[in-house]
Structure 1
């Protein structure tokens, strides 16, 4: 599913109430807020969906697969996602407790 698909799905549900451009702006704003929260606090939790975190990777020495020459890879940060128990159960077609609204 792409961002465009999300916009079209939401637009289809609210057609006549919201314009496609407004829906696109809302979806973009949600993604921008997740990115901002991750870059500032290192974590963004969304109930019943999951947690986006920033993990740190240490520097390491690797090899260029073509030449075999050693290459140093610097420290870096990488985004990670941990799905909530609710999302995990939905994906696996397991029963979900709709009353709970918490992440793992």
Structure 2
């Protein structure tokens, strides 16, 4: 599902809301999650999962094309851990 499909589903389920308002709500939610992660905070959506940021240390990598060693710098990457409800729904089938 892409963002526009999510907006359409929410708008269908809530006919009293305008499409532009639903788009603004979805954008605000995503922007708040992004902002929290950028600040190093953890975002937990009960029953769905938790977003956090993990630090990857600098290391020596390898260019797969040439085989040459390459220095890979330290970086921070987003991490998602599923919640129990989501895990149970996925494994029920």
**TM-score using structure 2 length:** 0.94
Q: Which residue of 2 aligns with 1:91?
A: 90
Structure 1 position 42, deviation (Å): 2.9
Q: Which residue of 2 aligns with 1:99?
A: none
1:1-104 matched pairs, under 5 angstroms: 1-15=1-15, 17-93=16-92
Structure 1, unpaired ranges of 5+: 95-104
Distance 1:28 1:63 in 2: 38
The alignment's C-alpha RMSD in Å is 1.2
Q: What secondary structure, in the 3-state scheme, does the structure 1 residue paired with 2:52 have?
A: strand
Distance 1:90 1:49 in 2: 10
Structure 2, unpaired ranges of 5+: none
Q: Which runs of 4+ in 1 moved over 3 A?
A: none
Structure 1 position 21, deviation (Å): 0.7
Count of matched residue positions in the alignment of Structure 1 and Structure 2? 93
Q: What secondary structure, in the 3-state scheme, does the structure 2 residue paired with 1:18 have?
A: coil
